[in-house]
Amino acid sequence: MQPETGNAQAPEEGLEQLMKRYQDGEAAAARTLVDRLSTQLYLFFSTSMGNRAEAEDMLQEAWLRIHRVRHTYRASEPVLPWIYAIARHVRVDHYRRRQRIARREVASDILPEPPAPQPPSPDLPSFCELMAALPESQREVLTMLKVNGLSIEEVARATASTAGAVKQKAHRAYDRLRSLLETRGTAGGGGKR
Amino acid sequence: MNCRELEHLILSSSGAPLPPEAAAHAAGCERCRPLVRALSNAPGASPLPAESLQRIQDKLTADLQPVRPLPPPGLLSLGLVGVLLVLTAIGVAVLGPAGWRVLSLWQRISVFPVLAAAAGLLAFSLGRQCVPGSRLVVSPFALLAAVGGATAVILAVLFEPHEEAAFIHAGLVCLAIGLAFAIPSGFLLHWVLRRTAILNPGPAGATSGALAGLTGLLVLEFHCPNLNQHHILVWHLGAVLISAAGGCIIAIRAARAPDRSNP
């Protein structure tokens, strides 16, 4: 194990420099990366899963995988898409595992717990409520763009697609959200009076 | 400003406040106002328990060792192309260049550069697919379809169809030769990529398989003297298709195996 250098790094040190030092085996860089990125990653997991405990488990799993493949980061590339690509994979795996368990539970007549009822929203549905109405791929893109604040290019890299495909998904998501909000507005007459 | 332009601005703003013109449109538009309000309600970051962060940090730093980063993407792609060239050279040395001898000059200067370009494009794409967060210009499956389609069209233009007595028998022999070179090529490509992290096994497996199949196709183009267009399109190109499909299936199954090593 490399000794922790303990040197006080500048607060604005770029993620790219931190990743490079992490690859070099500096424990302080690893700790700083965890400090700086965990909150956003946790938000990414909790927005898509809606469960705090599961999100914490996924966060831990994501960091372990990041650690295992840290050599695949290339110094000239941006860090966030690399991190989110791995985090996204953790989420997909977790989702698949959850589906497998749900299938087994159904098979043995133990029905999975139903999702918590949404709180009534007379004016505007919550962000998570709206996201839940979107297909998985659109939800993922919108979460990265609007919750995690990634750029289109970063989302494209993280999701292994092209910028054009990301834009298309986002526009489709907006169309869907518009119709959902219009339906709710008509049904509840909410917010426009 | 119209609703579509506002969407473009929302997309490119990445959480920053909308410019005044866009905000004015959103305030006055019945369709955009609820959307903008809903999107601005995105949940904010909530603090994580300090002990959770500490636990993660301790795990990461427990046996932290320096690691050697992957080679640059160009070098990785070069390694992939190198596998093709070496195995093609072995194939030509073992089986002989009977096919090369019967090709016209025009066919020679068309077929091999096209196959080399196809190999280069697929190697470039695969080199990027194997590194998380890499920039993809074209989606891997779209690239595969384009490369496969273009190769098929060029081969169809360069060769004439004619009647063949032993179409299936001769074809199966060529298919077997093509696959006999594609399989070791696939193993060697896997070896070149052993330190990478494949997050999307389907497209990466298909690209890898297609690249391995191209080895078989190259060997066949050098070796097989049969210039029947149908023979080349069905059996020579068939080796690439089978190899790509096999690569895709194997990669997906390997990724779903419980003891996989990739993230």
A169 and A103 within one domain: no
Q: Which of A21, A64, A72 to mutate to test the interface with B (most CBs of B within 10 A)?
A: A72
Which pLDDT does position A127 carry in this prediction? Answer: 78
| Among A115, A140, A172, residue at a domain's last position | A115
The pLDDT tens digits for A19-31 are: 999 999 999 999 9
Among chain B residues, the shortest Cα distance to A171 is held by: B7
| Among A115, A142, A172, residue at a domain's last position | A115
Output the DSSP codes for B13-66.
HTTSPPPHHHHHHHHH-TTHHHHHHHHHTPPPP-PPPHHHHHHHHHHHHTT---
A125 and A109 within one domain: no
Question: Nearest 5°: CA angle at A26, between A20 and A29?
Answer: 65
Q: What is the DSSP letter of A149?
A: -
Does ipTM come in above 0.90? no
Helix orientation angle between B73-95 and B201-223, rounded to the nearest 10 degrees: 30
pTM of the shown model: 0.83
A4 occurs within a structural domain: no
Output the DSSP codes for A123-147.
S---HHHHHHTS-HHHHHHHIIIII
pLDDT at A124 over 80: no
Contact yes or no for A70 and B67 at CB 8 A? yes
Given a contact cutoff of 8 angstroms between Cβ atoms, the answer to whether B126 and B80 are in contact is yes
A111 and A54 within one domain: yes
A154 occurs within a structural domain: yes
Q: Give the distance from residue A74's alpha carbon to the nearest chain B alpha carbon, in angstroms.
A: 7
A106 and A17 within one domain: yes
A59 occurs within a structural domain: yes
Name the residue among A23, A27, A153 with its Cβ closest to that of B61.
A27
Given a contact cutoff of 8 angstroms between Cβ atoms, the answer to whether A141 and A159 are in contact is yes
Name the residue among A35, A65, A177 with its Cβ closest to that of B53.
A35
Helices (H), chain B: 3-13, 20-28, 32-40, 50-61, 73-95, 98-102, 105-129, 140-158, 167-192, 201-223, 229-231, 237-256
The pLDDT tens digits for A144-165 are: 998 888 999 999 999 999 999 9
A39 occurs within a structural domain: yes
Among chain A residues, the shortest Cα distance to B129 is held by: A160
Given a contact cutoff of 8 angstroms between Cβ atoms, the answer to whether A146 and A155 are in contact is no
Tens-binned pLDDT, residue by residue, of chain B (263 aa): 788 888 888 877 766 677 888 888 888 888 888 888 888 777 776 778 888 899 999 999 998 999 999 998 889 999 999 999 999 999 999 999 999 999 999 999 999 999 999 999 999 999 999 999 999 889 999 999 999 999 999 999 999 999 888 999 999 999 999 999 999 999 999 999 999 999 999 999 999 999 999 999 999 999 999 999 999 999 999 999 999 999 999 999 998 876 544 45
A21 and A91 within one domain: yes
A53 and A33 within one domain: yes
Which pLDDT does position B160 carry in this prediction? Answer: 95
Name the residue among B11, B70, B72 with its Cβ closest to that of A71.
B70
A155 and A92 within one domain: no
| Among A65, A84, A115, residue at a domain's last position | A115
A155 and A88 within one domain: no
Q: What is the CATH number of the domain that holds A52?
A: 1.10.1740.10
* Domain with A87 in it: 12-115
Helices (H), A50-162: 52-68, 79-107, 127-132, 136-142, 152-158
Closest CA to B49 of A147, A124, A59: A59
d(CA B192, CA B76): 8
The residue written with tokens 């500490």 in the block is: B54
Among chain A residues, the shortest Cα distance to B31 is held by: A178
Q: What is the DSSP letter of B236?
A: I
**How many residues are present in chain A?**
193
d(CA B236, CA A32): 54
